[in-house]
Structure 1
């Protein structure tokens, strides 16, 4: 069975003072609940690992460079992320694909680097509103999955997150049927490529305007094993109810 995962992407938000919420969040987690992951900005990674020490909360990064080292001013390597004690990295997020012109092959190289450093990669996939309205969603998802995911994916080193671009931070959420369509498609594509034994255990997350008031409904969707949460992961009052809803699904 896939692991249930509630992952929080803080994006470019938070300071060292914000990490106090990790202890508060840990105190509000359900017993035997899902894996809980927080991905703060890179400057906070060392402090976040320290702040989460002794709790079940995991720490991840939001991006990495494909190279192990070199003259890449402002970038961070997967090995440097692992050195902080973080164990995950988000890759292929639409804000990286669009804002930094990352192509599928760029994401693929980053995932390979993450694996080499011992990190688990959260591969993000998602369509634009134009693609959704043109009924191209599954074609876009298929192309991103085929081009971005290297050979060698396992339930231990890979998580897939479906994040429709038009739902990120907009308050718009796909219907349950639309979420199921994509997640069922992802499971089938992974099965064709990796075999059922491996594919059935890879966690598939939904992301895009997940909030306390819609989380339980989203987690009813078949093949939804958790969520990649943006703004609602910044406050315990918002993120804890989402985690509890996942635990009860």
Structure 2
């Protein structure tokens, strides 16, 4: 099994790579033998993670800025793997979501996937590469009080399928749809919206996953590694749930 899911000589770029699922993905890809570019708007955090790893380097990137993306990619030669992981959340139904907040979520969660993928596309085509988009179960099922977030993650699923249809032999692209994962993202949500009832709401989040626990960043990172490996060569244009049974229930 030590020879399975190896990524030697592969160069990977992970957006939002300095924390949570992104950081776990960077660690997993390095462990698989890849060289990883840790792309994050927080360069200090990306540098700190790179210092822990044997084959990684930080890259400053604002995924909502074409200029920032171009600058980062210009410093990169070969690119075999792109993981579009950066994203934000928002609580609110259709009556409690402002136009400004809706557009911000769409910009960070959808436009960024378009911009980074488009900018990286020539390098990925040259390498016959692999793209993994980090979506969410919220793109497949309705989640209460998540109008903007559900909309954005549904768009990521659609974009994944569409690119796969246009370029079926040139590269592979898939989307991972996690359930609730124990990350700083979730902790920030609890702190902002449920400061005085964190444990109650945490228990509710756990209960949404029939398996009885939250996901871990490592759960998701392992699937990213698999999808980027030669063992997954027949998987393309797929949206793969990793949600403890949530979307099956």
Fold shared by both chains (TM-score > 0.5): no
Q: Identify, as 1 or 2, the structure richer in helix.
A: 2
How high is the TM-score relative to the length of structure 2?
Answer: 0.39
- Which one scores higher on RCO, CA 8 angstroms, separation ≥ 6? 1
How high is the TM-score relative to the length of structure 1?
Answer: 0.39
